[in-house]
Amino acid sequence: MNLRDRPRRLRTDGVRPLVSETRLDATDLIAPVFVDATTDERVPIETMPGHERVPVDEAVARVEEIRETGVEAVMLFGIPNAKDEYGSRAWAEDGVVQEATRRVKAETDTYVITDVCLCEYTSHGHCGLVEPEAEENPRLTVQNDETLDLLAKTAVSHADAGADMVAPSAMTDGMVRAIREGLDESGFSDVPIMSYAAKYESAFYGPFRDAADGAPAFGDRRHYQMDPANAREAMREVKLDVEEGADVLMVKPALPYLDIVRDVREAFDHPVAAYNVSGEYAMLHAAADKGWLNLEETAVESLLSIKRAGADLILTYFAEDVAESL
């Protein structure tokens, strides 16, 4: 055979890494940290092997463990010591995320991002104030405009505690504008917003709700999170967040929505983030426990696919393990 083009020439060990098109680095990764105000010791999360809820007193130690792997950024999630229908512990000065942020920023040089939502803090588990009779009427859901002020107050309280970036995830219309205005008016115009700009109502969130104790007490989130069938709608959502002042654009989940990651990357010049969510993490662990997959290899390949699709940043529960292997 007289083949001029032989792609295998560039697959030998010496040249293969030189022509690799996609690079994964520890600095691409953000590690989630769950801080629990209701416990004095670390509590393993059964549906997310290798992860724990940590008490506030352990927040710095947990972040330092992450930093040792080369990961430089964390996302803080909080489990409060009390809940009410408004989620008022979300913006409390002595709230769990606020206190953890102060300690982590005082004792480390970690880049701290905070999740801005109310689902972990409300007694009903929804991401904002619910409409009257929502528990009895499945057509009712979160009150959009009334929730915006609470999200803005929460974001400002995080910035006041020292958060480097805030990440609103409630999928309420206008949340980026409300938070941007709140931050600017409070003197935090330099704090960027990483918006969960395209967040789908996904079945892949299950283990996270165990981790953050944020499952809805009734109903679901289909009235404010996106329909998994929709792609064009995602672009509309992202465009609105850009116009409202989002600095980084998040797609959640990652693996089932790589087409959305690619679409956002091609349409916008902003940094693009993708959330490799708890279900994506748990299913690889479950298959590896059965001996069906190699956990380390599939984890790295999964994150490479997210990076290849166009994500600049990846929020992932594999952050530590993958960073150590790179």
> In the 3-class helix/strand/coil scheme, how is 12-57 assigned residue by residue?
CCCCHHHHCCCCCCHHHEEEEEEEECCCCCCEECCCCCCCEEEEHH
110 phi, psi to nearest 5 deg: -70, 145
Contact 62, 105 (CB under 8 A): no
Is 216 buried (19+), middle (13-18) or exposed (0-12) by CB count in 10 A?
middle
**3-state class (DSSP) for residue 134:** coil
Catalytic residues: 199, 252
Residues of the chain short of pLDDT 50, as ranges, are: none
Helix extents (H) in the chain:
59-67, 96-107, 144-161, 175-185, 206-212, 232-244, 258-267, 278-289, 295-309, 319-325
The reported pLDDT for the residue numbered 290 is 97
The reported pLDDT for the residue numbered 1 is 78
State the binding site for Mg(2+): 237
The reported pLDDT for the residue numbered 206 is 78
**pTM > 0.85: yes or no:** yes
The reported pLDDT for the residue numbered 126 is 80
- State which amino acid sits at residue 20: S
* Distance, CA of 178 to CA of 28 (rounded, Å): 28
The reported pLDDT for the residue numbered 213 is 65
State the binding site: 117, 119, 127, 209, 221, 237, 278, 317
**3-state class (DSSP) for residue 152:** helix
Contact 48, 282 (CB under 8 A): yes
Per-residue model confidence as pLDDT tens digits over 8-41: 999 999 999 999 999 999 999 999 999 999 999 9
**Residue whose token pair is 């290849």:** 308
Query: Fold for domain 22-324?
Result: TIM Barrel (3.20.20)
